[in-house]
Amino acid sequence: MNQPEEYLLAIESSCDETAAAVITRDMRILSNIVSSQVDLHEKFGGVVPEIASRAHLERILPVIDDALKEAGVSLKQLTAIAVATEPGLVGSLLIGLTAAKTLAMTLDLPLIAVNHIEGHLFACQMQETHPIFPAIGLVVSGGHTNLYHCSESFEFDLIGATIDDAAGEAFDKVAKILGLAYPGGPAIQKAALQGNPKAFPFPRTFLKDPELRFSFSGLKTAVLYKALGNPGAKKQPPALTEDRIADLAASFQETVVDVLVGKCQQALQKYNYSTLCVGGGVAANALLRERLTNMARQAGIHLSIAPPDLCTDNAAMAAIAWHHLDQGRIAALDLDVTPGLVR
């Protein structure tokens, strides 16, 4: 007789997306519901933590309901509950964790804590038929620009990071400077289509540095000065026309992509790896995907990059919980969140 199918309910609420997904043991995503709060945060040009927590509270149960309905799975059929508990905004994480704990306790199911960053890397594995690890991993999102050594046993060791802003944060801040929409990544990508990426030769910070580190704060200031002027300079820049915005967006995007691709190449060479996996919201960027693909082809390495909807925050990527369950890593009901940024 066939074994009954096993189902994982995964919950994600670390920042401003309320998300739930149902994933089978063999990694089929039966549903992946994401309720974005962009409309609530866009007028502030960034996520307002208190607003995010309140919105999670309102949305978490309907989102879980939708995920189960779309999957055609009932609460009784679930095998385990997974939840992202770190890193993220403390109030936001707590809403997801409380929902997950309540379900685990009332249904008497194992509760599994997932790290949001390992989820971003695991999203790459989910779309592959063969194991991709060991690999060099890049997580490039609103909160992180980190390089990892990813082992076959799903251990992720940090080998490089930004010393200031994350790449996604730079996209968001530069979009705000240029008067573009929030979140900045997709808005800059769109504006850049009409621009000249060579118009402004911005500095590629640390690109030639032997250390695996990033810095995007100086680039953001460089764009600010070209767009709105330098308070110390006598001459003010020309008016910020649509053409100039497009050139600034294209030049900024080109700079970030050059640095990210260059640093991945450096990490692959340093550790002599032949697989690169890339996750996080910025990995949805079309130019970055194209350049990484070209680099991988030329270098003869395997590039694993999740489809765009698995790069931005979602709950399906918490399916790494199946692995934790197999290892017996079941959380107690006094599980707490760990908001801290560095893993």
Q: Note the residue count of the chain.
A: 343
Identity of the amino acid at 199: A
- Among 81, 285, 305, 317, indicate the residue that binds ligand KG4 (CB under 6 A): 285
141/251 with CB nearer Zn ion: 141
The angle, 0 to 180 degrees and rounded to 10, between the axes of the packed helices 242-271 and 167-177 is 170
Give the integer Cα–Cα distance in Å for 311 and 284. Answer: 6
- What single letter denotes the amino acid at residue 138? L
Among the residue ranges 236-244, 248-256, 310-318, 327-335, the one whose residues contact Zn ion (CB under 5 A): 310-318
Is 184 a residue that touches ligand KG4 (CB under 6 A)?
A: yes
Closest distance of CB 188 from ligand KG4, Å:
7
Ranges within 3-62 binding ligand KG4 (CB under 6 A): 15
Q: Give the x-and-dash track for 106-145 against Zn ion (CB under 5 A).
A: -----------------------------------x----
Cα torsion through 18, 43, 162, 300, rounded to 10? 70
Helical segments of 108-151, H only: 116-126
Cβ atoms of residues 140 and 278 within 8 Å: yes
CB closer to Zn ion, 29 vs 178: 29
Peptide bond into 197 cis (omega under 30): no
Q: Which of 313, 316, 320, 337 binds Zn ion (CB under 5 A)?
A: 313
Site for ligand KG4, residues 51 to 80, rule: CB under 6 A: none
Rounded CA gap, 340 and 19, in Å?
A: 21
Query: Per CB under 6 A, which of residues 189..228 are in contact with ligand KG4?
Result: 189
Beta bridge partners of 137: 148, 277
Long-range CB pairs of 290-297 (<8 Å, 24+ gap) are: 291/257, 291/258, 291/261, 292/261, 292/264, 295/261, 295/264, 295/265
Structure-token match 């401003």, residue found: 16
* Residue 166 and residue 142 in contact, taking contact as beta carbons nearer than 8 Å: yes
Residues 301-320 that bind ligand KG4 (CB under 6 A): 312-313
Closest CA to 236 of 225, 251, 247: 225
The answer to whether 280 contacts ligand KG4 (rule: CB under 6 A) is yes
Q: Which of 91, 110, 160, 183 binds ligand KG4 (CB under 6 A)?
A: 183
Binding mask 100-139 for ligand KG4 (x = CB under 6 A): ----------------------------------------
Output the 3-class SS for 40-103. HHHHHCCCCHHHHHHHHHHHHHHHHHHHHHHHCCCHHHEEEEEEEEECCCHHHHHHHHHHHHHH
Closer to ligand KG4 by CB, 52 or 267: give it. 52
Nearer to Zn ion, 48 or 299 (CB): 48
How many residues of this chain interact with ligand KG4, rule: CB under 6 A?
Answer: 19
- Binding ligand KG4 (rule: CB under 6 A), the pick from 281, 289, 292, 321 is 281
Among 110, 137, 186, 195, binds ligand KG4 (CB under 6 A): 186
User: Applying CB under 6 A, which residues contact ligand KG4?
Assistant: 15, 141-143, 168, 171-172, 183-186, 189, 280-282, 284-285, 312-313
- Footprint of Zn ion on this chain (CB under 5 A)? 141, 313
